[in-house]
Amino acid sequence: METAGLDWFDQNTTLLRLGLAILLGALIGLQRGWQNRELRAGGRVAGLRTHALTGLLGGFAALLSLELTPWVLPAFFLAVVAIGLMGYRLKAAQSDDYSITGLIGLCLTFCFGSAALLVDPAIPAAAAVVTALILDNKAELHGLLAKLEERELDAALKLLLITVVLLPILPNQGYGPGGVLNPFEIWWLVVLIASISFVGYFAMRIGGTEKGLLFTSFFAGLSSSTALTLHLSRLGRDNPGLKPLLAAGILIACGTMFPRILIYCALINPDLLPVLLWPVALMTVLLYLPAAWLWRRHRGWVNAEQPRHQQNPLDLKSALWFGALLTVILLLGHLLQEGFGDAGVYLLAAVSGVTDVDAITLSLTRLSQESLSAETAILGIVIAATVNNLVKTGLAAGIGGWKLGRLVAGPMVIALAGGLVLAGWLALG
């Protein structure tokens, strides 16, 4: 690193950046001082004044490294580390507190002061704010860690594995008939569905069942509306008085499935949105309105504990199975479209919708970028969603009983018929 002198800055800019270095240190020091405000003066290792001066020291160390030698900056940093270690060692001996968070905060303060002189000031400013927030939320972060279950941590690590490790190493080119099998794109779709399910799970986890059946049902629609339908149907079988409320929950979960379809299309092929938006919006509204009516009419009838939806945040085997299913559907979609035209695609959509709507939605959206017309893809997606929701209606009736099935079936049939008619009209138009 060559000595650059003060050519980088005019005098006013240098003073402003040194002022910023002090303010960033004072910001972190304010949090540290507030946390230890009950201690006597001098009882803290590093408070408001120490952090403000450390930020200023970092700024001047950076300035001197430009004028004298680059070694000034690491020398001053090591000095701050040594002083901090002595202070925190004495503190640990007296209070039996071995946390080094404060020492890390002090070192970061020095770095922020240096960066305020050497790089874009916005970067250390943003980093200092984030640091202060992390330091200030010690209890909340520790509480969150205590509530975190082993399977949830495992799921988060697996999601990072399939996203950060596996995705970048896959080849990004087409294979097979028509080049429809692109390993990178197929796995990216797996990551997409896994991420949405992961977010839906933790939305329910954070809100908890105390937020009510409506909250749980809405976010279950982002992860697995079929799993929630099974759960509520079993609950309705054992609690007849809850059936109207459970029917509302099923309708909400099934209705939330449709906005999820829009998310897929927006991320993969936004050209489908102008036509797909209207049938999807119609079906969503036609399911949400009866659910709201059932809830308002029956919510005061019973006092029962709200159901808890149990689900694995991310099962790696399920992700692999989904990837394999997606590959098969992409291949079959291309072959059927070539052999039987649009009728083959519609047949595949209907069959796929019996078990899963995500795979066929992602497959048709992906194929619409190449060999499949947008109209055929949209109608196929609506057909798959229609079949899938009809299957869930059958589950509600078969497991939860006729009353639950009847409450779900009426709105479901109206919504699906309306969506099919509108999608067909828009596709033909």
Is there a single domain that holds both residue 258 and residue 124?
Answer: no
Quick one: pLDDT at residue 95? 64
204, 332: one domain: yes
Are residues 120 and 158 both part of a single domain?
A: no
One domain for residues 172 and 126: no
Verify that 355 and 263 share a domain, yes or no.
Answer: yes
pLDDT confidence of residue 302: 47
What is the rounded average pLDDT for all residues in the chain? 76
Residue 187 and residue 207 in one domain: yes
Least confident piece of the model among 287-291, 334-338, 384-388 = 334-338
Residues 156 and 138 in one domain: no
Q: Which residues of 358-388 are buried (b: 16+ CB within 10 A; e: fewer)?
A: bbbbbbbbbbbeeebebbbbbbbbbbbbbbb
Q: Which pLDDT score, from 0 to 100, does residue 164 have?
A: 82
Domain boundary (108, 143, 178) is at 143
Q: How many domains does the chain have?
A: 2
pLDDT tens for residues 340-397?
677 887 888 888 777 677 777 877 887 777 777 877 888 888 888 888 888 888 888 8
Residues 136 and 187 in one domain: no
At 3 the pLDDT is: 43
Q: Given 111, 143, 175, which residue is the final one in a domain?
A: 143
Q: What is the pLDDT of residue 173?
A: 75
Residues 189 and 91 reside in one and the same domain? no
Write down the H helix ranges in 68-147. 72-95, 101-118, 122-136, 138-147
Residue 211 has pLDDT above 60, yes or no: no
Q: Say whether pLDDT at 209 is over 50.
A: no
> Are residues 171 and 103 part of one domain?
no
Domain identity same for 112 and 85: yes
Residue pair 183/206 in contact by the 8 Å Cβ criterion: no
CA–CA distance, 345 with 247 (Å, rounded to integer): 32
**280 shares a domain with 264:** yes
Has this prediction a pTM greater than 0.85? no
Averaged pLDDT, 235-243: 74
Distance CA 385, CA 56 (A): 61
Structural domain containing residue 181: 149-428
